[in-house]
C-alpha cells in the first residue's frame, strides 16, 4: 500500500543517508506511482520497495525515488 499519492508534495530529508547529496533537502511532487509487480533480482516473490516518480522543483523531468527516501511536505 503506497504511503503517498499522485499530486502530493514530498521532500527528501536533508539528512537522508541513502539519497545523493543533489537530492537531499529538495522538494517536489509525486507524478506517478508504478504498480508493485516487480520481484527481487534473486527471483523470490518478495516485493521491492515502492518507488515513485517525483518532479523536483526546478526540474523538467521526473526521477524514480524510493518511498523510504521521502517525507510529506
Q: Tell me how far apart the alpha carbons of residues 6 and 26 are, in angstroms, rounded to a whole number.
A: 17
pTM of the model: 0.82
The answer to whether residue 2 is domain-embedded is: no
Number of domains in the chain: 1
Is 34 domain-assigned? Answer: yes
Select the more confidently predicted residue: 50 or 23: 23
Nine-digit cell string for 18: 541513502
* Chain segment 21-33, per-residue pLDDT in tens: 999 999 999 999 8
Q: How many helices (H) and strands (E) does the chain have?
A: 0, 5
Q: Containing domain of residue 18, as a range?
A: 9-72
DSSP strand pairing (27-32 vs 9-11): antiparallel
Amino acid at each position: 500500500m503506497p504511503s503517498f499519492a499522485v499530486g502530493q508534495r514530498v521532500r527528501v530529508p536533508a539528512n537522508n543517508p541513502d539519497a545523493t547529496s543533489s537530492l537531499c533537502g529538495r522538494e517536489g511532487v509525486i507524478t506517478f506511482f508504478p504498480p508493485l509487480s516487480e520481484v527481487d533480482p534473486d527471483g523470490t516473490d518478495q516485493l521491492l520497495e515502492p518507488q515513485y516518480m517525483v518532479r523536483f522543483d526546478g526540474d523538467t523531468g521526473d526521477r524514480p525515488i524510493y518511498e523510504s527516501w521521502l517525507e510529506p511536505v
